[in-house]
Amino acid sequence: MPDPIINFAVRGALGPLRLGMHRSELLAALGPPQGTTGQPEGEPVMWCYDDLQIGLSGHHMVWYIAIEPSGSRITLPAPMGPGPIEAPAKDALLRDLASRGEAAEECAPYAPGEFWWRVPASGVLMSFWADGPLDNTHISDRSLHL
């Protein structure tokens, strides 16, 4: 099982990256982003590094961290992984979490009938493709989005 994914699900942090860190800390840890999306005023709101997306607030605080595999493999920036790793399958990831005492619970946080898995201790949410591999895993704190 890919350790960065399990560690993210359990801790809600990814390597040096955590909710509430300042943009200057993010730059020191990961360097400049590969891409950004911005508001009309030009302030970036989402920074992208391979399959990692990081939301920044108007106060330059990390409020959102997501891993969105672009296929069956996940590529994370250098301090977080050894290179591309296989996107974990739902059954294997849930089993690995349970073996660490972190049982995930199914929930529908966004739309009725759209099911995700939530790790209660960390608040990380995970969704999977119908055939099993990870589609998205993320954590956010809207109070930091101000």
Confidence at residue 41, expressed as pLDDT on a 0 to 100 scale: 66
In degrees, rounded to 5, the angle at the alpha carbon of residue 111 between the alpha carbons of residues 35 and 104 is 80
For the cut 60, the answer to whether the pLDDT of residue 47 exceeds it is yes
Give 113-129 pLDDT, tens digit per residue. Answer: 999 999 999 999 999 99
CA–CA dist 54, 36 (Å, integer): 9
Tens of pLDDT, residue by residue over 5-45, are 999 999 999 989 999 999 999 999 999 999 998 776 656 68
Q: How confident is the model at residue 97 (pLDDT cuts 50, 70, 90)?
A: very high
* CB contact set of 99 (below 8 Å; sequence gap of 6+): none
What residue type is 97 in one-letter code? L
Q: What is the pTM of this model?
A: 0.93
Could you give the percent of the chain with pLDDT greater than 70? Answer: 93
